[in-house]
Structure 1
């Protein structure tokens, strides 16, 4: 297992935003699974997004790490309020081994909708982040 991937797994389960950020490349990006259009880039914007996202989940547990090399898939289970959800996170690694791209896939619809309701107000407090993400 890549050190950055292991660090990211442990950090997200512990909601340790500083450890999450150190696992990411400086130019890391994440395309929103909620909109499919918003792309968050760079440590400053990703810190805000990941703080809001992982602060909205509970009981996160990564169950599988699939692949090797510069592309990995992590599978997880978590709760949003009273609802259970699953996540498949596709990670692309940079040349230095840190995570360059995060592509989360979440299901089912009901907890995903509740997650959107929780994230919306937290992200709207940062209109600059949302504007930059909307540029694609």
Structure 2
């Protein structure tokens, strides 16, 4: 049943369908976020809220690699968040019934991750009926997103090992 769950999970992600993804979740599911170590999401309802918020922010999801067997799978996809390209890895662990009991997300590059955080956080908090905290999180993530984008476009290209250096100085 593991392969059927993985196939259904990928199809749900590519279509942005949180309800279809929820069918793949075990009652004891736990989601480990790449964005914070402060807490985890427990149970299908909480994880589905995260997925619904994510699917509002991340578009054009296309899984390109699956590695695994039995109860442990690693999935990789490319997508977009606003103008940023995103690549995410997902470590999935299945229970004895073949349903997802643990999800760990890993993402890159940093500008895309900060866009994801700025988009998902407020949406998720509004779903949890915390509009004031949603506003605060939205405002707090703005400078981080701006710094990540600026560094990626203006500073990091100067550190490219393939860039020609002026050796006369």
| TM-score calculated relative to the size of structure 1 | 0.89
The residue that corresponds to 1:17 in the other structure is 18
Task: In structure 2, list runs of 5 or more residues that go unmatched.
Answer: 131-169
The answer (yes or no) to whether the contact 2:13–2:21 under 8 Å persists in 1 is yes
Q: Which runs of 4+ in 1 moved over 3 A?
A: none
C-alpha distance in 2, partners of 1:44/1:60?
22
How many residues are paired up?
129
Which whole-Å CA distance do the structure 2 matches of 1:67 and 1:124 have between them? 34
Higher Cα Rg, which structure: 2
Distance 2:57 2:82 in 1: 8
Work out the CA distance in 2 between the residues paired with 1:72 and 1:6: 11
Measure how far apart 1:37 and its partner are. 2.8
Residue in 2 that maps onto 1:61: 62
Cα pair 1:24 1:99 within 8 Å, conserved: yes
Could you tell me how far apart the structure 2 residues matched to 1:121 and 1:27 are? 25
User: CA 1:127–1:32 in structure 2 vs 1: closer, same or farther (change >3 Å)?
Assistant: farther
**In the alignment, structure 1 residue 71 sits paired with structure 2 residue 51:** no
Once the two structures are superposed, the pairs formed by residues 105-116 of structure 1 within 5 Å of their partners are 105-116=106-117
SS at match of 2:49: helix
Structure 1 regions of 5+ residues with no counterpart? Answer: 129-136
* 1:42 equivalenced with 2:34 (yes/no): no
More helix, by proportion? 2
The alignment yields a C-alpha RMSD, in angstroms, of: 1.6
Identify, as 1 or 2, the structure richer in strand: 1
RCO higher in 1 or 2 (8 Å CA, sep ≥ 6)? 1
The answer for the alignment partner of 2:84 in structure 1 is 83
> Contact (CA 8 Å) 2:67, 2:74: kept in 1 or not?
yes
The structural deviation recorded for 1:36 is 2.5
